[in-house]
Amino acid sequence: MNTSVRATSVSFDEAQMWVNLEDGRTLGIPLVWFPRLLGGTPEQRAEFFISPSGIHWDDLDEDISIAGLLAGRGDMTKPGKLAA
């Protein structure tokens, strides 16, 4: 049985990423949790796609799982691997 929930939409304000889920919840995630998104332009942030497991930004090399967001996890990238 698949108990995962999918994102239905993503939006941003100056400090937060807002993720609407198919079960009606809306998650507000601080952009500081994801340095690549924080450093991206509004145009780059708008170029994402939603998969069954998460949200992906090819231009920003960012992949965020819904399960991770629900668990309260931010960027799990090693500090030496963050984009400059």
| Extents of the domains making up the chain | 8-75
The predicted structure's pLDDT at residue 2? 46
The predicted structure's pLDDT at residue 84? 37
Other CB atoms closer than 10 Å to residue 10's CB: what's the count? 19
Q: Is 70 helix (H, G, I), strand (E, B) or coil?
A: helix
The predicted structure's pLDDT at residue 24? 96
Q: Classify domain 8-75 at the CATH topology level.
A: NE0471 N-terminal domain-like (3.30.2020)
The b-or-e profile of 63-79 (16+ CB within 10 A means b, else e) is: ebbbebbeeeeebeeee
The predicted structure's pLDDT at residue 78? 55
Query: In tens digits, what is the pLDDT along the chain, a chain of 84 residues?
Result: 345 899 999 999 999 999 999 999 999 999 999 999 999 999 999 999 999 989 999 999 999 999 999 999 888 775 544 443
